[in-house]
Amino acid sequence: MAQTSSASGSFRATESIFATDVLRAEHLRGPYYGLRPMSAALSSTLTTSGKAEALAQVLAHKKELDQEILSMNALLNAGARINRIPPELLGEIFLFAQSVASGPWTLFPLLIVCRHWFVVAATTPRLWCSILVASDRLDRVRTWLARSKECPISVDTAIYLRTPLIDVLKPHVHRLRELMFGVVQPEAEPHLIDFLRNHTMPMLETFTVSIDHDDSSSSDLVEFSPDRFPRLKFLGLSSLQTLPSSPIFRQITRLHLFGSLGPSFNYYHIEQMLHGCINLERLQINHLLLFDNSLGPQPRAAADRVTLTKLQYISVNSSALVIHQVLYSVIMPPTASVSLCRSPPDYPTDVGLMEGIQGLYLKIVGARCPS
């Protein structure tokens, strides 16, 4: 009963307001229409000055009042509980939010909440360490590079890599932690080769690249030496040649080979490369192209294979010839996950080789290293 009475009272109050205000327009007069009039001094200026001059004065006065309102809002905002947190702690909260959301785009909502949050976010360098290049405009990249200060940075290109980006990155090679180049445009390839050959990257842990050119004719070679890339652990290559016997493979824990690795790359080079990967944990080979097929897969005795004691995962999605050579070259732990997928055959002998893959794998497991 009490609830019904309360609801009826609310309805009558609302009805009374509408009944009172419904004709309010008949009593409103310009130019204020019910608003509080301006000060007498400013009002007299409007009546005694010319129209343009008066309008300029009003706009100037409005700008002052707007600034004053912003200042008052800033004072009120400073009293909010969230803004009483020390800036360093608020920055840590932002970092956690960014990690949960997984991506640099989470920065933008933080930057537009208020001036205090903008300053805290813009002066927390670790928030600006992951750079996603999603367009040819490099202003955003320069902003991230400047605000990240001297923190290690990761660069991921979601578009074709072009020469200007390489030039922007050159002053920051000493703090590059990850370089993930999607597809390199042909005009940018010489600049990339020069970039990799002539710079030392002491912080680089991950490097992946795919170059868009005629794989069968490229002869550019880059040596990833441990002296210049002392922390490199993850290497992903397509259409970029490197020395299969390079000592860099001893420190690689994750290797991804796809496409072409040069016009002379053959089965022996696969074996040579894998023999250097003594610390390898993950191996992925996708659609590997071999242009020199004069030397086919070569069976090896167990003593001549490399024992990959740390291997956790191996995936080969390529021709049966490539699968055969990989399995001929390594001994893997019994706990390693194995995925073998035969891509469309390139040669008539491919079919016969594939029939022996299962038996060959069982033979390798039989010669595996002790668990």
Most confident of 15-29, 44-58, 204-218, 311-325: 311-325
Overall size of the chain counted in residues = 371
Contact 268, 296 (CB under 8 A): no
The one-character DSSP state at 177 is E
Distance CA 324, CA 320 (A): 6
Residue 80 has pLDDT above 60, yes or no: yes
Residue 303 has pLDDT above 50, yes or no: yes
Q: What's the pLDDT score for residue 121?
A: 93
Residue 203 has pLDDT above 80, yes or no: yes
Q: What's the pLDDT score for residue 48?
A: 58
Q: 51-75 as b/e, with b when 16 or more CB fall inside 10 Å?
A: eeeeeeeeeeeeeeeeeeeeeeeee
Contact 371, 335 (CB under 8 A): yes
Judged by DSSP in three states, 361 sits in: helix
Per-residue pLDDT tens for 324-340? Answer: 888 888 888 889 998 88
The one-character DSSP state at 309 is T
Identity (one letter) of the amino acid at 368? R
Binned at pLDDT 50, 70 and 90, residue 323 comes out as confident
pTM here? 0.75
Residue 169 has pLDDT above 90, yes or no: yes
Contact 331, 367 (CB under 8 A): yes
Task: Output the six-digit token pair for 201.
Answer: 């990257």
Query: How many Cβ atoms sit within 10 Å of the Cβ of residue 309?
Result: 15
Task: Output the six-digit token pair for 44.
Answer: 């007299």
H-state helical runs in 102-162: 107-111, 115-122, 139-147
Maximum Cα–Cα distance for the chain, whole Å? 105
143 closest CA partner among 174, 121, 113: 121
Per-residue pLDDT tens for 218-247? Answer: 557 888 999 999 999 999 988 888 888 899
Per-residue pLDDT tens for 99-109? Answer: 887 655 678 88
* Beta strands in 72-167, from DSSP E residues, in sequence order: 130-133, 153-157, 160-161
Backbone angles phi, psi at 58, to 5 degrees: -65, -45
Q: What's the pLDDT score for residue 184?
A: 83
| Mean pLDDT, all residues of the chain | 80
H-state helical runs in 128-231: 139-147, 163-169, 189-197
* CA distances (Å), origin 93, targets 44, 81, 138, 182, 192: 53, 14, 28, 31, 37
Partners of 206 in beta bridges: 178, 234
